[in-house]
Amino acid sequence: ETGVTQTPRHLVMGMTNKKSLKCEQHLGHNAMYWYKQSAKKPLELMFVYNFKEQTENNSVPSRFSPECPNSSHLFLHLHTLQPEDSALYLCASSQEISGVHEQFFGPGTRLTVL
C-alpha cells in the first residue's frame, strides 16, 4: 500500500449503530487529519493530530470520537449519528518541511446515515 488509505470506502449505518472509520498513512508523516465533506459546503476540518497528540478539535459533536494510537493510524469512532452526518469523510497526513505542511489525502469513506 502507498500513500494514504481509508477503510471502508462506503458505509451505511443506522442512527443507533456504532462503527469506526480507519485511516492509515504509509508516508512516514507525523500529522494526521480528519475532514468532513458535505455537498455544497466547504471542507470542514474536524480533528488534527501531531505526533499522536490531538492539537485541534473544531467543535465537533461528541458522537464523533477520534483515536490516534500511533503516527501511522487514525480512527474515527461513530455512534448515534444523525442523517445530517452523511458525508464523505477524508483523512489526510502531512510532514512539515521548511515550515510547509503539504497534506496528502486518502480516497475517503462515503458515509450514509439512515
Binding residues for other proteins, rule: CB under 8 A, are 4, 6, 31, 33, 40-43, 45, 48, 50, 55-56, 90, 92, 94, 96, 98-108, 110
* CB-nearer residue toward other proteins: 48 or 68: 48
Cα→Cα distances 103→11, 32, 86, 110, Å: 24, 9, 24, 20
Contact 49, 30 (CB under 8 A): no
Contact 27, 93 (CB under 8 A): yes
CB of 21 to other proteins, least distance (A): 13
CB of 4 to other proteins, least distance (A): 7
CB of 66 to other proteins, least distance (A): 15
| Bridging pattern class, strands 10-13 and 109-113 | parallel
CB of 80 to other proteins, least distance (A): 27
* CB-nearer residue toward other proteins: 22 or 79: 22
* CB-nearer residue toward other proteins: 16 or 28: 28
Contact 27, 101 (CB under 8 A): no
The span from the CA of 90 to the CA of 78, in Å, is 14
* CB-nearer residue toward other proteins: 20 or 37: 37
